[in-house]
A and B are shown apart, each in its own frame.
Chain A
Amino acid sequence: MRAEARSGLLLSGPYTAFLLIFSLFPIGFSVVLVLLKWDLVTTPSFVGLDNVQHLVGDARFWQAIVNTFVFLAIHLPLQMIVALALAWALNRPLLFRSFWRAAFFLPVIVSGAAVTILWSALYATDVGLINGLLARLDLGPVPWLTDPALAMPAIAVMATWKNVGFYVVIYLAGLQSVPQSCHEAIELEGATAWQSFRYVTLPLLKPQTLVVVTLSTINGFQLFIEPYVLTGGGPLRRTLSVVLYMYRNAFSYQKMGYAATLGLALALIIAVVLVVQRRVIGSAEEA
């Protein structure tokens, strides 16, 4: 079918070209960049594995990795619990269900930049809303973004607020796919509401839990605008994220080779973390 083949190539041609230029080339070129030192203006110079060596010994990089794990340690459990609780609530017989759902989902669609600005106002030490509410309760102003120990947790809470609505929708779909008769059966068998949840609902939600954990983890490793706007990576570099560090290397320090090295390292770390998570949560096909 010459004509069909011709049409097919014609219609998919632009897409193929796009993939080559903007997907495949960058992937390949990133490996090349790792071996170069380049400021985009002068000619690049070949430096072998210098970038990799530097990365291994770079305190800032490892701090950023630690920061990300701190973020995930707070964000992941918070996300799962809140999303599941809200989804469970929305699954009951309920009035105005679409209103509640829309309320929780609103932060998801608002721009991350706007949400970050909003929370800079919420977290502001002297004129922020949160400290204002605490002042009503006679509690002292808390330096949310300037205390090294609090800054990343504060960002984790904000990220949860922004994204939880999305996971509520996912968990809700999962809850609705558990047959009502399974709940009735286990209730007759003597299970309390908690036991019914733990032995029937939760295991059957494994695919959704995997999605929540995977996407939240990727989200955590991709943090950029939040530290960029709220803290600049401080205080004491405790909110520095890998992507922010990468951006600085490219945009401010003009070290393309090193920035690409950071990108590659990040991609590898994400891959490893996701594989480990999938093992721990178990295969999603169990349900």
Chain B
Amino acid sequence: MRRAVFYVVLALAAVAFLYPFLWMAATTFKSPAEVGGLSLIPDQPTLDNYRLMWARAPFGRALLNSLFVATTITFSVLVFGSAAAYALARLNFPGRGILNAVTIAVLLVPAQLTLIPTYTLIVQLGWVDSYAGLIAPFVFNATAILILRQFFMQVPRSLMDSARLDGMGELRILFTVFWPLAKAPLAMVGIFTFMGAWNEVLWPLLVVRDEQLMTLPQLLTVFSLGGGAGPRQLATKLAAAMVLVVPVVAAYIFLQRFFIESMASTGIKG
């Protein structure tokens, strides 16, 4: 009996987290008269909200922008970041200790401190309204480097030595020996980097004014701020939000374990 009550309460909690998303999805298919209602199935389903949203702002373009930016950042963090992590973990070079210390110290500095100076830098470089401006400050990620460095330090030295004896250069060693072993941390780092880049909204709001270059969350924000709060506006705004939410939720449903482990590990580090 007590177990039944327990499950009911748990289910209610889960509903509190899931129902708003379902309601949001349902509302995007409703006509103005039905918007605001509690039902999850519209009586007169319509795609008007989506058509309106798509016509009024370049969401397709924004989706591509987000994909491009997030993918580039993730690629850079994984490839160039692991090169740096490899060097820090396994190679002896002057300044290694300092580089390690600075990497850890940098994590303690809140982003707010560097936000404005970095913005002025981007402006001075002429990178406003450009992909470079969106991507450059995120090309490396200290947390990712620390995680990868930690992992690389645990790879047995003997693997490296025998590869060297076989005549492999360091880059070869990194990508043919270390990378296959590092699938788990690489996946983790990849996920939280991609998600972070995909969801980033403050930086694009500073650096990009051209609608054609806006990322998806940015365009969504701008779109929803320009307009009143009447019924059709609400459904259209939610339709725009769906474009942002659905791909992520779809990926999450299949990969939730990876998502959870990935994000949780950064919490403990950070």
Give chain A's interface residues, CB within 8 Å of chain B.
1, 4-9, 11-12, 14-16, 18-19, 21-27, 29-30, 33, 38, 40, 86, 89, 92, 98-114, 117-122, 124, 126-129, 132-133, 136, 161, 165-166, 169-170, 173, 211, 215, 218, 221-222, 224-225, 228-229, 242-243, 246-247, 250-251, 256, 259-260, 263-264, 266-267, 270
Query: Which residues of chain A are near B159, meaning CB under 8 Å?
Result: none
Complex partner residue of A113 from B14, B80, B244, B267, CB under 8 angstroms: B244
Q: Is the interface of A mostly helix, strand, loop or mixed?
A: helix
Known: A40-B120, A98-B256, A250-B206. A267 touches B217 (CB 8 A): no
Complex partner residue of B36 from A21, A111, A126, A170, CB under 8 angstroms: A126
Q: Are A111 and B217 in contact (CB under 8 A)?
A: yes
Q: Are B116 and A30 in contact (CB under 8 A)?
A: yes
Please name the residue on chain B nearest to A94 by beta carbon: B10
Q: Mark B29-50, 1 if CB is under 8 A from A, else 0.
A: 0000001111000000000000
Complex partner residue of B245 from A15, A111, A250, A260, CB under 8 angstroms: A111
Q: Are A103 and B17 in contact (CB under 8 A)?
A: yes
Beyond A222-B110, A246-B112, 18 additional pairs, beta carbon < 8 A: A7-B170, A8-B87, A15-B140, A22-B140, A89-B9, A100-B14, A103-B14, A106-B21, A109-B252, A111-B198, A111-B245, A113-B221, A118-B21, A118-B24, A173-B264, A246-B116, A250-B206, A256-B120
Complex partner residue of B249 from A6, A106, A132, A264, CB under 8 angstroms: A106
Going nearest first, the 3 A-B pairs with the smallest beta carbon separation are A8-B93, A127-B36, A8-B91
Interface size classification for chain B: 35 or more
Please name the residue on chain B nearest to A9 by beta carbon: B93
Q: Is the interface of B mostly helix, strand, loop or mixed?
A: helix
Query: Which residues of chain A are near B110, meaning CB under 8 Å?
Result: 218, 221-222, 266-267, 270
In the assembled complex, how far is the CB of residue A129 from the closest CB belonging to chain B, in whole angstroms? 6
Q: Are A132 and B93 in contact (CB under 8 A)?
A: no
Query: Which residues of chain B are near A119, meaning CB under 8 Å?
Result: 20
**Which residues of chain B from 93 to 113 have any CB-CB distance to chain A below 8 Å in the complex?**
93-96, 99, 102-103, 106, 109-113
